[in-house]
């Protein structure tokens, strides 16, 4: 099996680029942020303070979290039997996901779900600790970054396109805070693996970033895109 790990801060284009590259190479795209988001959403739905680690940890065994792929190959998240794929995208849930993801027990709870995907399929997996913790033997590791303003602009455009009301300044402030939290935490912090290729997408068009990632995939895995 081939595995490609793509890590980096929020809004660097990880999910859009990974999804497209996976489609081109016939790999499965695994969005690991969606799993943390599902736990973040669960804390909200069950009225649990995401800053209260003990309460979050106590909630974990009561949750049923499932990751499934529909006929179109899209990853869907289910919480206690309900499809929550849309709800987990709310900005409020981004911050809750970042908070619960700093809890070591939450990370441990999700390790096997992520690794089993890579055992069973060729994957492009994106997140914060894929190259460092989840798939340390990945065939290719990419650390994707871009200027904070660039990243906030992309995230803002994405949210407004989905009809979510927000201001650019709010999105930028939220993103900077979340990146600080994700980088400063003790458990699996956001950082490039020693053997990761650093890719700065500032000023790139989406097409250029996809080209760059696909070039690396072909070079490191020996696979060629099956679809163009």
From CA 188, how far away is CA 133, in angstroms rounded? 7
Question: What DSSP letter does each residue of 122-139 carry, written as one string?
Answer: -EEEEESSIIIII-TT-S
Q: Give, in degrees to the nearest 5, the angle at Cα 63 between 130 and 49.
A: 85
* Other CB atoms within 10 Å distance of the CB of residue 15: 19
CB of 161 to ligand DC, least distance (A): 17
Q: With respect to ligand DC, which residue has the nearer C-beta, 16 or 218?
A: 16
Q: With respect to ligand DC, which residue has the nearer C-beta, 75 or 94?
A: 94
Q: With respect to ligand DC, which residue has the nearer C-beta, 24 or 154?
A: 154
Q: With respect to ligand DC, which residue has the nearer C-beta, 13 or 212?
A: 13
Q: Cα Rg for the chain, rounded, in angstroms?
A: 17
CB of 189 to ligand DC, least distance (A): 9
Q: Give the list of residues 6+ apart from residue 191 with CB closer than 8 angstroms, or none.
A: 132, 183
Query: Helix crossing, 206-221 with 14-25: angle to 10°?
Result: 50
Q: With respect to ligand DC, which residue has the nearer C-beta, 150 or 182?
A: 182
Q: 25-52 burial by CB neighbour count: b if 16+ within 10 A, else e?
A: bebbbbbbbbbbbbbbbbbeeeebebee
CB of 7 to ligand DC, least distance (A): 7
CB of 141 to ligand DC, least distance (A): 13
Binding site for ligand DC (CB under 6 A): 10, 32-33, 36-37, 94, 97-98, 101, 127-130, 178, 182
Q: With respect to ligand DC, which residue has the nearer C-beta, 38 or 224?
A: 38
Tokens 């943390």 identify what position?
Answer: 36
CB of 12 to ligand DC, least distance (A): 9
DSSP, collapsed to helix, strand or coil, labels residue 29 as: strand
CB of 215 to ligand DC, least distance (A): 23
């Amino acid at each position: 099996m081939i595995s490609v790990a793509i890590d980096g801060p929020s809004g660097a284009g990880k999910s859009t680029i990974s999804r497209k590259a996976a489609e081109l190479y016939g790999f499965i795209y695994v969005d690991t942020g969606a799993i943390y988001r599902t736990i973040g959403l669960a804390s909200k739905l069950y009225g649990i303070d995401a800053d209260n680690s003990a309460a979050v940890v106590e909630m974990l065994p009561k949750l049923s979290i499932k990751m499934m792929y529909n006929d179109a190959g899209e990853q869907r998240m289910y919480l206690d039997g309900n499809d929550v794929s849309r709800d987990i995208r709310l900005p409020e849930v981004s911050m809750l996901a970042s908070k619960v993801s700093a809890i070591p027990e939450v990370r441990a709870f999700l390790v096997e779900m992520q690794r089993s995907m890579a055992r069973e399929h060729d994957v492009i997996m994106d997140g914060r600790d894929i190259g460092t913790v989840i798939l340390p033997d990945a065939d290719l590791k990419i650390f994707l970054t871009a200027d904070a303003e660039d990243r906030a602009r992309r995230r803002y455009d994405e949210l407004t396109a989905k009809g979510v009301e927000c201001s650019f300044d709010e999105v930028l402030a939220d993103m900077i805070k979340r990146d600080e939290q994700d980088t400063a935490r003790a458990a699996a912090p956001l950082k490039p693996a020693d053997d990761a290729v650093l890719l700065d997408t500032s000023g790139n068009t989406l097409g250029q970033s996809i080209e760059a990632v696909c070039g690396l995939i072909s070079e490191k895995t020996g696979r060629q895109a099956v679809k163009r």
